[in-house]
Amino acid sequence: MVEKENILVLAYPGTGKTYTASNFENVMDFEQQFYTYVYDDNIKHLPLEQIKNSMTTKRPNPQWPTPFVKDLGEELPKNEIVIATFTPQVYEAVRDANYPNTKIILAVFDQNNFEELADRFRARGNTEEFVDRRRVDFPVANEIFDNAEGVDKIVIRSGKYLADALTEYGLELRPGEGKKNYL
């Protein structure tokens, strides 16, 4: 019997991870925020985008990346496509974990169109502080993307989203509600 290949997509913020997981039944959105940071209890009830905005109500999780690597490794074989955020920290954790039988796909937005991403961040309710943080880490993510080896790479063109790019890449996305590892 041939073992199923796990598919892990690391996609840059603002490219449509949440939308993809919300609209395609064979996709899981594996959010790393609650692994990377420890949040004050008084904000855990807020929508995810509001939680991401705040730098004053969270602190680095001293256990990072151990629980993230473990839980992601458990979810990969249970799902057809797992999507996580492409940040330098997540990429390093995934690369170092060396998940067996897993195809890793890095997905970034067109390097020349950060302002389109910034508009998407604002439209979903992110603060200018959040936009500024992304403006700083966007070139870093693109440098990692350019230099990464042993992974597949997708550039999401202007006006497109992750679901479009994954379909063009050749993955089948089946309509329906996907899964999330958060509320």
Q: Which CATH number does the domain housing residue 167 bear?
A: 3.40.50.300
Is the per-residue pLDDT at 50 higher than 70? no
Residue 83 placed within a domain = yes
pTM recorded for the entire structure: 0.91
Residue 60 placed within a domain = yes
- Average of pLDDT values for 39-43? 68
Tens of pLDDT, residue by residue over 108-128, are 999 999 999 999 999 998 889
Split into its structural domains, the chain has a count of: 1
Residue 1 placed within a domain = no
Residue 74 placed within a domain = yes
Residue 182 placed within a domain = no
Do residues 107 and 15 touch, judged by C-beta distance below 8 A? yes
Do residues 86 and 141 touch, judged by C-beta distance below 8 A? yes
> Using omega within 30 degrees of 0 as the cis cutoff, is the peptide bond preceding 65 cis?
yes
Q: Which residues are CB-contacts of 79 (< 8 A; sequence separation ≥ 6)?
A: 26, 27, 28, 179
Quick one: DSSP state of residue 28? Answer: E
Handedness of CA 13, 14, 16, 19 (dihedral sign): positive
The predicted pLDDT at position 2 comes to 61
Residue 21 placed within a domain = yes
Structural domain that includes position 125: 6-175
Q: How many helices (H) and strands (E) does the chain have?
A: 8, 8
Residue 104 placed within a domain = yes
